[in-house]
A and B are shown apart, each in its own frame.
Chain A
Amino acid sequence: MHIAVVLKQVPDLVEELEIDSAGTDIDRSFLKMKLNEFDDHALEQAVLLKESAGAQVTALALDSDGVDQVLHSAVARGADKAIKVAAGDGPFASRQAAPALAAAIRSLNVDLVLTGVQAADDVFGQTAPFLAAELGWPHVSVVSGVEPAGSAVRVRQEYSGGRMAVLEVDTPAVVGVQAAPQSPRYVPISRLRQVMAGGPPESVTATAGAAPAGTMVVALAKPEQAGGAEMISGSTDQVAERILALLSERGLLRG
């Protein structure tokens, strides 16, 4: 099985986000980027499949600042190969990114595409569906657990209310990963440095799609401070009494 894992960077919240002067995007001049957490899980899922069933894993990401390190980390984690897809200056909405990524994936002859179910920067959750549409392949999202099943894969899809469905999807397919069966493993820096010493990842060029019509960001604002926090002071008994009263007022106490 050949698995392609699609990775993307999102702003690292270690830096406080500011809104740019136009008021329609975050100020990207001071941003520090990091791998999207769900993509991290997609990568872990791919490496787990490689370990349990044998697979070739190729990590893919659109070219952007700092993406080499993300791809090197993927190889240090267990991917066999990393490819940087150069599609011009981003950032791209997932609708624009999908055609470029799909073109790169098509040339790889893969059986399965794994990517994060969504990314924190837009919480849109459409990269996997758009990729599947571009490729004409079946698609399942919100998946936590993938295992091989002959010419198909068996996936656990999460529903609301804590329910799970087990589905079989014919390959090739695109899967949006919510969580890998285990936390993404640690990449020792010595291994990462060995990979980095091998030079930058392979680069291919591709064309991004047109900007999507119909949606545009009109304004971006920080959440308003709601206030309303109550600092409880007094003796331990007084504090306990007040907490009890608050819980009771809000109907959080039974009986």
Chain B
Amino acid sequence: MSKVEPGRVNEQEHLEFEGMDISGHWNRMFEQRVIWQHDTGALDRVTAITGAESLGYCYQCGKCTPACPVDAVGDYSPRKIFRRTQLGADLLDSPDLWLCTTCMNCLRVCPKEVNMISIMPAVREVAVAAGKVPPELQKAFENTFQHGNPMGEPARKRADWIAEAGAPVRLMPREKGPVDVLFYTECYWSYHPRGKDAARAFARVMAELGTDWGILGPEEKCSCDSQRLAGEKGLFEMVAEQNIATLDKYEFKRLVTPDPHAYNAFRNEYPKLGAEYPVQHYTQFLAPLMERLPWKRKLSYKVTFHDPCYLGRHNGEYDAPREMIRAIPGLEFTEMFRCKAQGYCCGGGGGGMWLDGFTAGHVSERLSERRVKEAVETGAEVLVVCCPYEVSRFEDAVKSTGNEGRLIVRDVIELVDEALHA
């Protein structure tokens, strides 16, 4: 036992507290508590950032750690970030700053409302302003600024996918006039080969439904929600203002988008810039219309479904994609253990999409790889998704985990389209 230094222990022989006599050794108080002798500057600097205050609320209960999808494959969680920062580690210089996918599973369980969805973008913004940004993320920012999409594809080619859609797609800048549905295609459905497959399937399904719809084509730019969460608020604001000006030129009854990140932006972030639209995720738009579709064949697949964080936890929609899956004839649907509100994360959110190489250096396996293994465990042959980030992430993960031939990845719209063609 260590000896208590004289003068550093405070024990009152007679002490009354709120009417109770607490005289005796139980009122003994050691001065100072050890924590006060530490320099808390590192934590103070973070909690002084507007939006990052709540990191200081953490009382180390640890509920977030088993909920955090990154901790499942690494050594990471809000609790750990708090503790490391409290002990003097500079979050601005730590890889911890870039590993959070803003999936929001921690906030769901946190009794103190330590809000990483607010903390991470705020602290990252300070890091970005100081030039501390991982090079691959920097490239995605620069591409978005220059070309309106994080991949650096030419804006002119944004609607090239419609040529092989096998169904008419109205390009609104060319064919003027109002539409019922303005479809916000977003970047990965516009440019990624597998995204384009889904976009074309969507066009064919819309043709079956006879919906009056159109797209902005080259005038559309990334909604930029993930860039905002990755710390580039200025970029988000600039591109959002451009998108709002573009949308102002057209008449439409509602916005529909396949990208939960765009859905989140239009639903929760663009209104802060004064632009409110009736917006739906494409699963919300299509689910009530499923009964109108002329099904031509049964799909006898065992399937499971991955909830996108930005559709589910962030915006509370768990049913629409499941209603679509149940409407497709023949599918045998099994949930994964982690689903709905406690669904696992694919790793692509909050900038994770453009930090794959960086993140790989700090985790034992990709989040997408962990998730693919969970999908295989259910015995499913098809992993169904409804977020444009996920097809490419999970298809890569299927290959890298050696599950090729065992599991395929399909956007829910691809299955609908498949069941509509004999």
Contacts and interface: CB of A to CB of B under 8 A. Distances in A.
Interface of A: 12, 14-15, 30, 32, 34, 183, 185-186, 188-193
8 contacts: A14-B147, A14-B154, A15-B154, A186-B142, A189-B238, A190-B233, A190-B237, A193-B238
A188 B156 contact: no
Contacts, number: 43
A188 B238 CA distance: 11
Contact of B232 (A15, A34, A188): A188
Contacts of A189: 141, 145, 232, 234-235, 237-238
Interface string B130-157: 0101010010011001110000111010
Interface range on chain B: under 10, 10 to 19, 20 to 34, or 35 or more? 20 to 34
B129 A190 contact: yes
A188 B153 contact: no
B147 A188 contact: no
B73 interface: no
A195 B129 CA distance: 14
A18 to B, nearest CB: 12
Contact of A190 (B131, B152, B154, B234): B234
A188 B234 contact: yes
B293 interface: no
A103 B145 CA distance: 33
Contact of A32 (B133, B138, B141, B154): B154
A205 to B, nearest CB: 29
A15 B238 contact: no
A193 B133 CA distance: 19
A26 to B, nearest CB: 15
Nearest to B138: A186
Given A189-B145, A189-B235, A30 B133 contact: no
B238 A34 contact: no
A186 B138 CA distance: 7
Contact of B128 (A12, A14, A183, A188): A188
A191 B133 contact: no
A186 B152 contact: no
Contact of A186 (B125, B128, B154, B237): B128
A191 B147 CA distance: 19
Contacts of B133: 186
A183 B156 contact: no
Given A15-B156, A190-B233, 4 more contacts: A186-B142, A189-B145, A190-B237, A192-B234
B141 A186 contact: yes
B404 to A, nearest CB: 13
A183 to B, nearest CB: 7
Contact of B153 (A14, A185, A191, A193): A14
A191 B129 contact: yes
A248 to B, nearest CB: 29
A76 B151 CA distance: 24
A188 B144 CA distance: 12
- List of 5 A-B pairs having minimum Cβ-Cβ separation, nearest first: A190-B234, A189-B234, A189-B235, A185-B131, A186-B138
Interface in B264-300: none
Contact of A34 (B129, B135, B138, B146): B146
Contacts of A185: 131
A15 B157 CA distance: 9
B145 A30 contact: no
B152 A14 contact: yes
Contacts of B234: 188-193
B204 to A, nearest CB: 29
A69 B208 CA distance: 46
A182 to B, nearest CB: 10
Contacts of A12: 146
Nearest to B132: A186
A190 B233 CA distance: 7
Contact of B131 (A15, A34, A186, A193): A186
A48 B142 CA distance: 21
Contacts of A193: 234, 237-238
B148 to A, nearest CB: 11
Nearest to A34: B146
Contacts of A32: 146-147, 154
Interface string B316-329: 00000000000000
Contacts of B156: 15, 30
A95 to B, nearest CB: 30
